[in-house]
Structure 1
Amino acid sequence: MRRLAMRIATGLMLAVLPLAAAAQSEPFYVVENGQQGGPYSMDQLAAKAQSGALQQTTLVWANGMADWTQAGNVPALQGLWQATQTPPDQPPTLPETQPTTQPTNTPTTQPTGNPQLDALAEQERRDMGVPATNQLHSGAMHGPTPNSIPGGQLITTKGLTEMVQRQMPYALFDVLGGNETLPGAIPAVGASQAGSFQDQTQQQMGQFLTQLTQGKTDTPLVFYCLSVECWMSYNASLRAINLGYTNVLWYRGGIEAWKAAGFQTVPAGQMQQGQQPQQFNAE
């Protein structure tokens, strides 16, 4: 699970090689139902793609790749879906009501090999001596956090910008509720609450996410708050995981890492063109 501990565990990855450098002969690891599976050969992955078990939005990783990424991003795997209805270079899109974030001031080139993002990824992944837990955090929300999350992945700024640049479909949630936010983020402060996975907050969040994703539990969901010392997005991610979502990405670095990378934020409440007003507020 060392890589699954990421960005959603792809949280600002360690500097390595570009995705295109992953050789077809390398075994791949796959996130299946929130757990890491593999290693799989190309023949095994082809069989999974034919059966529908491997989607272009499924998170995969192999030696030589900078971070976990959606399978449709990997050149070595794109041929697996040529016989399907969805072209390999056009991953399935979310409903029109789904905001896909296109942050301003993001680099026009791929972040792979970017020393600034690589160094930031190391900070976002650093071990603070806090064990991962599958229980909602009920203590102070400001403090050291684990560097992994059971059933989800840690995603770094590098991993997030890669998703943005490839225009992959996903939903981004602001669990902090401050005066500024990442462009396109959906306010979801209520999802940070402590409690239990049987409480009213959980029920309301389940209804909200079902409507937002049209019941597609493999929709990539990205949750962030302030920084690596903020538990709010960890709780929100755990709630989504316990609702059965299989591509939950915990952006551990949060808004502080985003700004440290030189990317812009927008005033809270400001929507992008075409974005529908929506937010999750637990009662």
Structure 2
Amino acid sequence: MRWLGLVVLLLSACAQTVPLPEGYRMNRYKAPVPNHVPGGRVLTVAQAKELHEKGSALFIDVIGSGSLLTEGIDGEWLRVRPRHSIPNSLWLPDVGRGALTPAQELYFSKSLKAITGDNKQKSLVFFCLKSCWMSWNAVKRAAHLGYENLYWFSQGSDGWGAGGHLLSEIAAYPRKATQ
């Protein structure tokens, strides 16, 4: 029985020692993640649910678009497949990638400014899927933009749903709202 306890201790130590990149995670976004993020606080499913119920934070899904979205007329997104996520979340596709194009950087910064009313004290919860580095990157990027009340929900929409909480279809935040 002692060896079982030792194995559990070693496994938890390994989970906590995921090395942090010097900058952003640049590839293999779906991989083991660290237990902390510079500039943000980590949330459990219960803590995320509590913040969501209080309505005291904006939930921002940063899952990549992949083949889900294409840019349409007048800067709007054309949805190819639905995205099911935490209800009332804002979806800022692809802003959690390691290297953003200038257009993506502008979309991210202008979107945050618009949805917070230019209030850098507003509480923001970033997430995507369980064990996804995109949300880790987004928290770090938002901290560099000067946002101060940042949360990382590393369990993402997967953890939310597995916790028995409702997922609903959300739309990508419009690009033209930031132009």
Same fold (TM over 0.5): yes
The aligned counterpart of 2:120 is: 217
Q: How does 1:156-175 map to 2 (within 5 A)?
A: 156-165=44-53, 167-175=54-62
Amino acid of the structure 1 residue aligned with 2:124: L
In 2, the alpha carbon distance for the partners of 1:263 and 1:252 equals 16
Q: Distance in 1 between matches of 2:132 and 2:103?
A: 23
Structure with bigger helix share is 2
> How big is each residue's C-alpha offset from its partner over 1:239-263, in whole Å with a ceiling of 9 and x where there is no partner?
1111100011110011111111111
Structure 1 residue 265 corresponds to structure 2 residue 167: yes
Distance in 1, matches of 2:144 and 2:108, equals 11
Q: 1:233 aligns with which of 112, 135, 145?
A: 135
Partner residue of 1:43? none
In structure 1, C-alpha distance between the alignment counterparts of 2:48 and 2:144, rounded to whole Å: 23
Change (3 A) 1:212 1:264: same
Cα distance change on mapping 1:243 and 1:194 into 2, 3 Å: same
Structure 2 unaligned spans of 5+: 1-13, 66-81
1:137/1:194 contact within 8 Å kept: yes
Deviation at 1:195, TM superposition (A): 1.5
| Deviations 1:24-44, CA, capped at 9 Å, x for gaps | xxxxxxxxxxxxxxxxxxxxx
Number of positions where the alignment pairs a residue of Structure 1 with one of Structure 2: 148
Which residue of the partner structure matches residue 204 of structure 1? Answer: 107
CA deviation vs aligned residue, 1:227-250 (integer Å, no higher than 9, x gap): 0x2111111111111110001111
Structure 1 residues 136-145 or 167-176, which shifts more? Answer: 167-176
Identity value in percent: 25
* TM-score normalised to structure 2 length: 0.72
Task: Give the TM-score of the pair, scaled to structure 1.
Answer: 0.47
Greater RCO (CA < 8 Å, at least 6 residues apart)? 2
The CA distance in 2 between the partners of 1:246 and 1:134, in whole Å, is 20
Distance 1:217 1:206 in 2: 11
CA distance in 1, matches of 2:138, 2:174: 14
Cα RMSD of the aligned pairs, angstroms, is 2.6
- Residue range with higher mean Cα deviation, 141-150 or 186-195: 186-195
Which SS does the other structure have where 2:95 is aligned? helix
Q: Does 1:184 align with 2:88?
A: yes
